[in-house]
Chains A and B, each alone.
Chain A
């Protein structure tokens, strides 16, 4: 499997500020999340990989092309969905996507056909003929996605794709991203919204202060804990506590109608149900503890701060 992205000791300095401190990273095809606090260097990394900003030192290859010498080849095969509006005032949605296709090197006819195909895909119907400045924020995001897809890239870079969208718009955007992933396009998504990243990404790269702090599989992170459980119940917490204790289920913490417990051994969830029946506290929910991306993220950042 060829990797889509490979960097080696990539450094970027702006005067006295070192935005990237020697990034060494290798990314396989798939949907990857790029996380990090503000100032971690995510945007700088993307700009360097896109060839928009020259690296101070180090090497990197995108889809096998060198970022120093083969920038145009890279840009032919990748699409970029920027964070800001980036519209061209005066153009309609269709005109804008068509223009993007022409800029990517498509012929007039190809760009026209493909623009409308892609606008269908992102769900901009009649609205495509209206001036793009009048679009709602959700529509603008989808328009930007359309212009990034018009030349059928192999890799998409997305900078905060669900920023500022209402829940419905976000759902739509995330389902588009999932579908693109399934179609074989690799996506690198930089986002602050961890649940969104959890939903669509297969792997994450966590950056902080110009360095890569951690990389990992989402699946790994979200594996259910074998013995730690959260239980929602109705009724007497005290009685439940005692019944649990009788069965050697340790109670970790308790709040109103919720208790977290540790089972004596894996696959002994029935102990909880027995205890609940005995205590007359009917169960309303049973969840194994899962690491969240948020925890892994915080841990990584803390780890760097403690260094």
Chain B
């Protein structure tokens, strides 16, 4: 049991800073993946891929069919029964891109819910556990900067958010293109891919910054979890109240940007240029309104989210700086 031999010195080299934060990410991801419920959600997010691809496939079939006059009568019947203008839909071959974007927008709502849950599972412990188990002196007696520490921790939660948002989206796009011939031109496909990346990375940044700040605020991750869920859900309730109570003119500015869910969806709509898409498809105005979110000027949500993110990032950084200094006496 006793170490019997003498101490041996080591003659290797220590690398630069760039090697360190991947180690933090790796350990963080490994520890967070141990929870069965987390793995379940990650698995469930493949549902987005399945759903999207199924819809893409159905749309492509409808397009193909729609060009055949034999089905005109069928369409007439469906129109009377369901009120859906299938012929109109079938003509939308030229609007395939807009339709695909719409699909992603619909998926977005589910993904935001998944992301909220995943963040609630993975995020709170990130810094809070280090606080509670007093692991900070170990981190900050090593040659790392507080920035490295934060970046590593952020990357852990970002990885999980990405797995339920970005990964399914890009997979859907790729598989959908393979299955149905895609959007027609590389430019369109890459454009859509780029918009997806921007949207999802944006979610990772905002969500990650907020949860990290909360996690750094309290050593008990259960309080952080409650705080996070409260921060996500209560503003939605508040927004609902405001929408009902105030005339619609007043809720097009900041008062309409209280709910983070709304902020993200409004900005997504703007990013994906959904308004133009709907106009192009000449959908009846009622349909457009129901799919398009509440008409808020996207500038306001952008300002709100940017402010929240910057504020959170600043708070978090300062808190970690302070923790790194007080580390030895914790």
Where the two chains meet, the residues of A that have a C-beta atom closer than 8 Å to any C-beta of B are: 43-44, 46-47, 50, 52-54, 71-73, 75-76, 78-80, 82, 84-91, 95, 99-100, 102-108, 110, 114, 117, 120-123, 125, 147-149, 151-152, 159, 172, 176, 179-180, 182-185
Contacts and interface: CB of A to CB of B under 8 A. Distances in A.
B14 A105 contact: yes
A90 B14 contact: no
Contacts of A120: 3, 5
Interface in B242-281: none
Interface of B: 1-3, 5-10, 12, 14-17, 19-20, 23-24, 27, 30-31, 34, 129-130, 133-145, 324-330
22 contacts: A43-B328, A47-B329, A50-B141, A50-B328, A53-B325, A72-B143, A82-B141, A86-B134, A89-B31, A90-B30, A91-B27, A99-B27, A102-B19, A103-B139, A114-B10, A120-B5, A121-B7, A149-B7, A152-B12, A176-B3, A180-B7, A182-B6
B329 A114 contact: no
Contacts of B27: 88, 91, 95, 99
A80 B141 contact: yes
A55 to B, nearest CB: 11
A110 B329 contact: no
Contact of A183 (B7, B142, B325, B329): B7
A63 to B, nearest CB: 13
B245 to A, nearest CB: 47
B61 to A, nearest CB: 48
B329 A85 contact: no
Closest 3 CB pairs of A and B: A102-B23, A80-B141, A152-B10
B243 to A, nearest CB: 44
A21 B5 CA distance: 43
B130 A88 contact: yes
A82 B137 contact: yes
B5 A121 contact: yes
Given A105-B20, A185-B7, 17 more contacts: A47-B328, A50-B141, A53-B325, A80-B141, A84-B134, A89-B133, A90-B34, A102-B23, A103-B139, A106-B15, A107-B15, A117-B10, A121-B7, A123-B2, A152-B12, A179-B7, A180-B7
Contacts of A184: 9
Given A47-B328, A105-B14, A105-B20, A52 B140 contact: yes
